Amino acid sequence: MEKSSTGPDLRIAPSILSADFGRLAEQIELVESAGADVLHIDVMDGHFVPNLSIGVPVVEAVKRCTDLFLDTHLMITNPEKYAAAFVDAGADSITFHIEVASDPMALIEHIRNLGAKVGVALNPGTDAATVLDVLPAVDILLVMTVWPGFGGQSFIESCLRKIELLSGHLGEEQWLEVDGGINLDTIAQAVEAGADTLVAGSAIFGGPDPATALERLRSAALRSLDTELEA
């Protein structure tokens, strides 16, 4: 995976789940201009999670209006069935949940053969040990810090220990993405625990000025990285 050519390796990933879908292209352009590193797309099936969200046609439309890396988070029961359609639509990475993968290594190979980066995600209640075997084979580890299904929930602090533990198992090129409840009060804790890719939905799109919200989150994350380096 590409590392940032300037400054510390840190990515802010706005989640369009909290965007105004009536003005989606405009909202994406705002965060792209404000320096978003990737765009996080939450796909829900009303089965793995108790909500429905974005599907393939929306990913196709998003692809047409941005050059950002499309980081696609599949909160669905049958990722093996739909991964190809999302890659065809323009997804740059496909992240599946370990809880629903009957043969994770085969799924990883399938996604890689489609030409996309591969991520594995785990829920707040899922033990770190469940992903250890597959970690060397993925590009992205996504640790959920809320129960998936909805934006705007509170960060679950007890997940920090899991982030710390798993960060010790990742190589330089792998992303450690944290998703759920990231805002100005919680981003430093996630970065200090080892996260380098921070998903933020409501903290960016929930207010009137997504661009400034994104810049503030990045500054807060960079400050905590600096403090860590000085310590």
Q: So which residues are the catalytic ones? A: 42, 179
- The per-residue DSSP string of 79-122 comes to HHHHHHHHHHHT-SEEEEEGGG-SSHHHHHHHHHHTT-EEEEEE
Residues 58-97, one symbol each (x = binds ligand DX5 by CB under 6 A, - = not), give: ---------------x------------------------
Q: DSSP code of 28?
A: H
Residue 203 is a binding residue for ligand DX5 (CB under 6 A): yes
Scanning 58-66, 131-139, 144-152, 222-230 for contacts with ligand DX5 by CB under 6 A, the matching segment is 144-152
Taking the least distance from each CB to ligand DX5, the nearer of 119 and 201 is 201
Residue 71 is a binding residue for Zn ion (CB under 5 A): no
The tally of CA atoms less than 13 A away on the side-chain side of residue 186 is 21
Structure tokens belonging to residue 130: 């469940």
Taking the least distance from each CB to Zn ion, the nearer of 37 and 42 is 42
Helices (H) and strands (E) in the chain, counts: 9, 8
Taking the least distance from each CB to Zn ion, the nearer of 37 and 179 is 179
Structure tokens belonging to residue 212: 């400034």
Distances in Å between the alpha carbon of 104 and those of 8, 31, 107, 139? 31, 33, 5, 14
For the CB of residue 36, give the shortest distance to Zn ion in the complex, in Å: 15
Residue 17 is a binding residue for ligand DX5 (CB under 6 A): yes
Residue in 89, 200, 220, 225 binding ligand DX5, rule: CB under 6 A: 200
Count how many residues are written for the chain: 231
Residue numbers of the site for ligand DX5 (CB under 6 A)?
A: 15, 17-18, 40, 42, 73, 146, 148-153, 179-182, 199-203
Interface positions with Zn ion (CB under 5 A): 42, 73, 179
